[in-house]
Structure 1
Amino acid sequence: MTEPSVLTERIGSAAYLVLNRPKSINALDHQMALEMARLLDEWAADDSVDVVVVSGAGERGLCAGGDIVAIHRDAAALSGDPAAGDEHAEQSPSAKFWFDEYRLNAEIARFPKPYVALMDGIVMGGGVGISAHGNTRIVTDRTRLAMPEVGIGFVPDVGGTHLLSRVPDNLGRYAGLTANPLKGADAIALGLADHFVPAEHLDDFRTAIGTEGLAAALDAFTTAAPPSPLTEQANWISKAFAADTVPEIVDALRAVGTPEADKVADAIAAKSPTATAVTLRSLQQAAGDDSLEETLKREYRVSLRCLLHPDMAEGIRAQVIDKDRNPAWAQNVSSGDVDKFFEPLPHELTFDSEITAES
């Protein structure tokens, strides 16, 4: 028999939620997002639950993101149909998944009890969405956190632009435009995580939350994080990424004149010009948002427009399907092209609990 993709456990007053697709590094699908939301609603109302602990099965990581192959099917079909528009994108399985996933991200951010996310190993894309919005975020020496969307012609979502736009010294722009992974120490330094637990003690820490209580477990197992390799480079990153457009950022990086800066410039230049331009605009706008929900509504618009743009299907093809690592990106993106990603949809993302993509 196939095991459930979401497992639960109770130890003391702690409720444990385990993403259970270890072969795919616990990639999140629509049913998993719906089940997570159901469980959180149940536990929020259960007086016997004091704390929720979220982790991933296996040794590779918490969650590698969404099901990219499934998203590719929608992107390839929609971008290959000249007649496809917003209405078609809204009816796709990917859009219905994102509708409920983004609502889950908002629910996690406002969860009324301690929500402990064990951000061990790979934490990417949707994995960031189910962890970094929580109120108690744990990283380890094995953590590799990233918003890698620009590498597949996509744009950071799941509230990622909200998180990254609030990182000081333009290091959030760096993370979003390069897709480079962050270590656990980087995540804490950038405000994307709260506590550091050595990986060798993570299982004992997890159990202690239920047996001893969260405060005691944190006191017993957390340690000072190592120095952040990324913040050691904050001076030149902050200056270069302050520019208003992606080409200007790349030029500023070239002007730094160091191998490290050239490598970062090369990384951005290799990404989809459309995706990086829309990502920068998204980060600029998210910085002024009053709430995570406001950002998620914008990200939903952008995500659906990515389905309609050829770069997303091409990026996933090159990186995941054919693995030739040689995407043929659309070039010469204009400001008007970017504007179209942000235009209102016929049906916007909502946070009314009575409205779901399933209804």
Structure 2
Amino acid sequence: MSGETTADVEIRIEGRVGRISLNRPRALNALTHDMEVAIDAALLRWADDPSVAFVMVDGRGERGLCAGGDIRALYDAAKSGGERLAFPFFGDEYRMNAHIANYPKPFVALMDGIVMGGGVGISAHGSHRIVTERTMLAMPEVGIGFVPDVGGTFLLGRMPGETGIHAALTAHRMTGADAVSCGIADHYVESRHLPALTAALAALVDGADVDDCIAAFATPAPDSPLLAERAWIDDCYKAPTAEAIVAALEAHAEPAAREAAATIRRMSPTSVKLSLRLVRAARGDAKVETAIDREFRVAVRCVAAHDFVEGVRAQLVDKDRNPRWQPATLDGVDDEALDAYFAPLGADELGLDALEHFPILSDRM
């Protein structure tokens, strides 16, 4: 074994496997900026290293892979007028997400337990995504005045029917079965088999053997609870605007639809409308970099806006769960205000989509 171990992430080579273990279990392995930089550096290094056959990522502790990014640092910076921190924080994270999506070697992600926000970005763009009966996957950003990012809008936009819009606007928590059925994961493995699977993967000498190794432990995923609700979801979320979606949900005979409407009304109205536009736009993207560039423009502006600071305060700092959104209602958010979030950033553009030769290339480009 060789590698580097820090307080927050373990990066090492075991046999022919590049191992990345998120190591902040008390913080549900939330990603800090330093972790993002270290992980991306390892990915770039291993991409051309013939001694590394494939990469595997997991999370320490019993609760899950990763609960997202360390937004408290962004909150503290925004409160003190340091919104510019968002540019390197998101820029480095989003480049890492794009590298994972284009990785030239098998990228195995163990998506056990909680997988939210940034946890989706570090796993669901990989080539071999493994979920369990314990998986709880979500993009919950609308509840803190933010938007689905880390390439998440690209994934949400490709979910069946309108299920991705539902997941984005309600912060719906998907099961492992949902993730497989909706194309966000590839394999379903019972959590009790993960130690044996991890050991078997670590013993491999050839990246070409990864599929067979996982198949030996995988079982068919159960039926998806989310897809069982697809009839009313597709019926309501096809409405053209957020206001019309909520009205359709409230008028629907299905109780779950009315519960979804109530949930959306509790979220940041600005974030709901931004998220709806982002996911719908991503449906037309040919590659994840296009969606990530768009997310970057919106994300850096969200951090500088009222609802992000207020949402983080209410949910994570004071924990009164009573955010005071501005505007407070969906009909108070006008299109001109939304357009400003999507405007080009000039010299600050992330620019992944414009790269003719991405740093890490694969046949999936």
Moved over 6 A (4+): 352-355
Residues 36, 134 of structure 1: CA spacing in aligned structure 2 closer, same or farther, 3 A cutoff? Answer: same
Amino acid at match of 1:45: D
- Residues in 2 aligned to 1:289 and 1:10: alpha-carbon distance in whole angstroms: 35
Residues 80-229 of structure 1: pairs in structure 2 closer than 5 A:
89=83, 92-212=84-204, 213-229=209-225
In the alignment, structure 1 residue 52 sits paired with structure 2 residue 55: yes
Q: Is 1:350 the counterpart of 2:351 in the alignment?
A: yes
Q: d(CA) in 2 for partners of 1:354 and 1:147?
A: 27
SS at match of 1:26: coil
Q: Which amino acid aligns with 1:172?
A: G
Amino acid at match of 1:292: V
Give the Cα–Cα distance (whole angstroms) in 2 for the partners of residues 10 and 34 of structure 1: 18
- How many Å separate the matches in 2 of 1:275 and 1:241? 16
Structure 2: how far apart are the matches of 1:74 and 1:253? 38
**1:325 aligned partner, one-letter code:** R
Separation in 1, partners of 2:158, 2:228: 19
Inter-partner Cα distance in structure 2 for 1:318 and 1:257: 32
Cα deviation, 1:163-188, whole Å, max 9, x if unaligned, reads 10111211000110000210100001
SS of alignment partner, residue 62 of structure 1 = strand
Give the structure-1-normalised TM-score: 0.92
Q: Is the 8 A contact 2:113 2:136 kept in 1?
A: yes
Q: Give the aligned partner of residue 335 of structure 2.
A: 335
Contact 1:65-1:125 within 8 A present in 2 as well? yes
Q: 1:216: how far off?
A: 3.4
1:5 Cα shift?
1.6
- What RMSD, in angstroms, separates the aligned Cα atoms of the two structures? 1.7
Question: Following TM superposition, by how much is the alpha carbon of 1:159 offset from its aligned partner in structure 2, in angstroms?
Answer: 0.6
CA contact (8 A) 1:147 1:176 kept: yes
CA contact (8 A) 2:64 2:113 kept: yes
Paired amino acid for 2:111: M
Give deviations 1:11-32, integer Å, cap 9, x for gaps: 4322211111111011101111
Q: Deviations over 1:237-288 (max 9, x none)?
A: 0111111111111111112122211111111111011000011111121111
Match of 1:243 in 2: 239
* 8 Å CA contact 1:76, 1:310 repeated in 2: no
- Partner of residue 287, structure 2: 291
Deviations 1:80-129 (A, max 9, x none): xxxxxxxx74xx22321101100010000000010000001110000000
Alignment partners' CA distance in 2, 1:60 and 1:250: 33
Amino acid at match of 1:152: I
* Runs of at least 5 residues in structure 2 that lack an aligned partner in the other structure: 360-365
Q: In structure 2, what is the Cα distance between the partners aligned to 1:14 and 1:283?
A: 34
Amino acid in structure 2 at the alignment position of 1:267: T
1:354 deviates by 11
Asked if the contact 1:150–1:271 (Cα under 8 Å) also holds between the matched residues in 2, the reply is yes
One-letter identity of the residue aligned with 1:174: H
| Greater shift in the superposed pair: 218-227 or 141-150 | 218-227
Question: For the residues of structure 2 that align with 1:180 and 1:323, how far apart are their CA atoms?
Answer: 20
Counterpart secondary structure, 1:53:
strand
Q: Whole-Å Cα distance in 2 between the matches of residues 303 and 265 of structure 1?
A: 25
Contact 1:74/1:307 (<8 A) preserved = no
Q: Deviation string for 1:122-173 (max 9, x for gaps)?
A: 1000000010111110000110000000000101110111110111211000
State how 1:5-84 maps to structure 2 within 5 Å. Answer: 5-78=8-81
Equivalence map 1:318-333=2 (5 Å): 318-331=314-327, 332-333=332-333
Q: Which residue pairs with 2:363 in the alignment?
A: none
| C-alpha displacement of 1:50 | 1.2
Query: Residue 113 of structure 1: SS of its match in structure 2?
Result: coil
SS in structure 2 opposite 1:221?
coil
Paired letter, 1:334:
D
Q: Secondary structure at the match of 2:197?
A: helix
Cα offset, 1:8, TM superposition: 2.9
Q: Displacement, 1:75?
A: 3.0
What is the CA–CA distance in structure 1 between the aligned matches of 2:41 and 2:149, rounded to whole Å?
A: 22
* Preserved CA contact (<8 Å) 1:11 1:207: no
- The letter for the 2-side match of 1:59 is E
CA–CA distance in structure 1, aligned partners of residues 338 and 80 of structure 2: 22
Deviation readout 1:46-104 (Å, 9 max, x if unpaired): 112111110001111111111121111133344xxxxxxxxx74xx2232110110001
- Indicate the residue corresponding to 1:82 in structure 2: none
Task: State the identity as a percent.
Answer: 48
Amino acid paired to 1:247: E
Distance 1:28 1:11 in 2: 23
